[in-house]
Structure 1
Amino acid sequence: MKTSEFIKQFNELDMPYGETHYKMSATKEESFACGIVINVFKNNKFEVTAARLPEGANAWDFYGGAPFSPKMLEFMAELAKTPPEEREEQPKYVILNGLPRHGTCYYFFIDRRYGQLIPNNVDGAGIEKHASFSEEWLHDCKKMLTPELAAAIDMMTVTQERAIELTEKSKHDDLD
C-alpha cells in the first residue's frame, strides 16, 4: 500500500462509536521522525497524537487510549506490512518544451534508439499518463545523449506536479 493511498483512505473513515466532535487524521510526519502520524482533533483543534509509524518501520507506536475502528486497524496493518521501499511513490518528471499554453503541455520524449528529443504535446489530463517519466528512466535516457543535450534536459525538467500546475494555470492564458 502506498502512503498516499493509506492517508486518503484512512482520512475518509469515521471515528468509532460515532463521536461527532472528534476526528482522527493521518498525515506524513516531517518533524519528529519521518513517517506517518495519526492525530486526534477535537472541534478542529489538535488534541493528541494517537499513533506513529516511523519511516522504515513495520510496527506502529500507539499513544494513549484513542479508539480505532477495525477498518482503521486493518488499513494500519496493511501499511505496516508493506515494505518501506514500496510505500513511497517515486517522483515523476516532465521535460518541458516551453511553457504550457491554453491548457496544453508541450514536452519532449527522448528517443533512446537515436539519441534524439521528440517534441510532443498533451492536454493537462494526459500529463501523468503520457508526459511523465521516472527519475531512473530519465537517467538511463540521458546516457544516450550528448553531454550538452543531457545538460539541457536537466534545465528543462520539472516535477510532474509542477507541469500539471503550470498547465492548469495556462488554461486562462486567453483571459490575460
Structure 2
Amino acid sequence: MKTSEFIERFNELDTPYGETHYEISATKEESFAHGVVINVFKNKKFEITAARLPERVNAWDFYGGTPFSPEMLELMAELAKTPPEEREEQPKYVILNGLPHHGTCYYFLIDVINGRLLPRNLDEVGRSRPEDFGNYDKKHLDRCKKALTPELAAAVDIMKVTFERAVELTEKSKHDDLD
C-alpha cells in the first residue's frame, strides 16, 4: 500500500458522516524521523499525536490511548505490512534542456553506452506516455549518471526536474505567444 493511498483511505474512514468528534488526520511527516503520523484535533485545535509509523519500520507507535475503529486498525496494519520501499511513490525525473517553449519540452536522454546526453523534444507532454519522455526514477538516474563524467553528472543534477514539473512548465509554455 502506498502512503498516499493510506492517508486518503484513513481520512475517509474518519469522516463517514461528514464531521466527527475528533478530527483524525494522517499525514506524511517531514520533520520527525520521516514516516506517517496521525494527529488528533479537537475543535480544530491540535490535541495529541495518536500514532506514528516511522519510515523504515513495520510497527506503529501509539500515544495517548486514542480510540481507532477496527477498519482504521486494519488499514494501519496493512500499511505496516507493506515493505518500506514499496510505501512511497518514486518520483520520476526529466532532464530539461532549457525551458519548454510554445508547448514543446526540450529534454535530454542519457546515452549510457557513449557517456553523453542526447537532446530530444516532445510536443504536448500531457498526452504522452511517460516512458516516451525520458523519465528516470532516482535509482535508474543514479545508475545512468555513472556512465557520465563527474562534471556532466553534476550538470544532470542541476537540470533534472520532476515529471510533474516538466508537464506543468510545458502546459504553461503553450501560451507563450500571449505574453
**TM-score computed with the length of structure 2 as normaliser:** 0.77
Q: Where does residue 42 of structure 2 map in the other structure?
A: 42
Q: Which amino acid aligns with 2:73?
A: L
Aligned-partner Cα distance in 1 for 2:53–2:19 = 24
After superposition, the Cα gap between the structure-2 partners of 1:143 and 1:48, relative to the gap in structure 1 and judged at 3 Å, is closer
| Structure 1 partner of 2:176 | 173
Describe how 1:43-122 pairs up with structure 2 within 5 A: 43-116=43-116, 117-122=118-123
Which of 137, 140, 154 aligns to 1:137? It is: 140
Conserved in 2, the CA contact under 8 Å of 1:24 and 1:38?
yes
Structure 1 position 79, deviation (Å): 0.9
1:27 corresponds to 2:30 = no
**What displacement does 1:26 show?**
0.6
Counterpart amino acid of 2:76?
A: M
Cα distance in 2 between the residues matched to 1:60 and 1:69: 15
Give distance in 2, aligned partners of 1:32 and 1:120.
41
Instruction: State the identity %.
Output: 73
Mapped pair 1:163 → 2:149: no
Q: Supply the AA of the counterpart residue of 2:41.
A: F
Distance 1:122 1:3 in 2: 33
SS at match of 1:7: helix
Question: Is contact 1:122–1:130 with CA below 8 Å preserved after alignment?
Answer: no
Q: Deviations over 1:41-68 (max 9, x none)?
A: 2343323222111222211122234332
Q: Which moved more, 1:124-133 or 1:3-12?
A: 124-133
- Tell me how far apart the structure 1 counterparts of residues 27 and 124 of structure 2 sit (CA, whole Å): 31
Stretch moving more, 35-44 or 76-85: 35-44
Unaligned runs of 5+ in 1: none
- Comparing 161-170 with 145-154, greater Cα deviation is found at 145-154
AA aligned to 2:144 is C
Partner amino acid, structure 2, of 1:158:
V
* CA distance in structure 2 between the partners assigned to 1:146 and 1:61 by the alignment: 45
**TM-score normalised by the chain length of structure 1:** 0.78
Structure 1 residue 16, shift from structure 2 partner: 6.8
Unaligned runs of 5+ in 2: none
Partners of 1:124 and 1:22 in 2: CA distance: 43
Report the aligned-residue RMSD: 2.9
In the TM superposition, residue 162 of structure 1 has moved relative to its aligned partner by: 3.1
Aligned 8 A contact 1:90 1:134 in 2 = yes
Aligned equivalents of 2:131, 2:61: Cα separation in 1: 37
CA gap 1:106/1:65 in 2 versus in 1, 3 angstroms? same
